[in-house]
Structure 1
């Protein structure tokens, strides 16, 4: 397992800890030049999005000694992006996720199976 895959799995697990919905991990290797994995998940409220983002940042820092290279968005925007380089995490409010449809844009990407999620 690559470091990127470990990080993607850790991000998915951290999101699950805060009850994120519809967690999807897309393997972008071979179809993207800017990242290896997308982790996409949803929350039903702004406080939940904030909690999911915090959980991901904390667990990745504590377990893998990784911090996002950049972050964009705020809970009020209903779309938060955490960019770890080889993994990009997209946290959406349910309505925004459907609107942007990242899974449809990258439909040729393989989906990673994550146990327990």
Structure 2
């Protein structure tokens, strides 16, 4: 399953549990850590748990996708679920405003998570370089024996 599909499904499942202000950021080419962020707001600790559980359970049951790890506590009001190349952030309104992930990653394009069209990878690909031709190295004459001979001759003439 493509990471964009996982990201869109995470957003959909968050929406199913009434998460608010769901945002999908395309970080390809901007972050070495992940390709997509899904950011959602949950208004209470029970909703934080419900959104996280819905995402994890539905992706496991419906699509056979398991998270690599899940982190955060309800007291921290910020839960993270990490799927391959997709990081899901579920935050309280206060934490979301304070950390402002969408502003921090302001260079990242915001995607419509309801769209089902495939998204082209915006990462520019460098053209493959042809190996450089090997040029014959110039052979240089060894100067050391000539210097030694000159020094020897200078000593003899003294």
Instruction: Report the TM-score, using the length of structure 2 for normalisation.
Output: 0.70
| Aligned pairs (5 A) from 1:56-67 | 56-67=55-66
Aligned partner of 1:69 in structure 2 is 68
d(CA) in 2 for partners of 1:33, 1:64: 26
Structure number with the bigger relative contact order (C-alpha 8 A, sep ≥ 6) is 1
Q: Deviations over 1:43-93 (max 9, x none)?
A: 110000000000000111122211111111022210000011310000000
Aligned partner of 2:44 in structure 1 is 45
d(CA) in 1 for partners of 2:13, 2:31: 24
- Kept after mapping to 1: 8 A contact 2:12/2:114: no
Structure 1 residue ranges, 4+ long, deviating more than 6 angstroms after superposition: none
Residue correspondences, number? 115
1 or 2, which has the higher helix percentage? 1
CA drift of 1:20 comes to: 0.1
| Aligned pairs (5 A) from 1:4-83 | 4-83=3-82
Aligned partner of 1:100 in structure 2 is 99
Unaligned runs of 5+ in 2: 116-158
What is the SS of the residue equivalent to 1:25?
strand
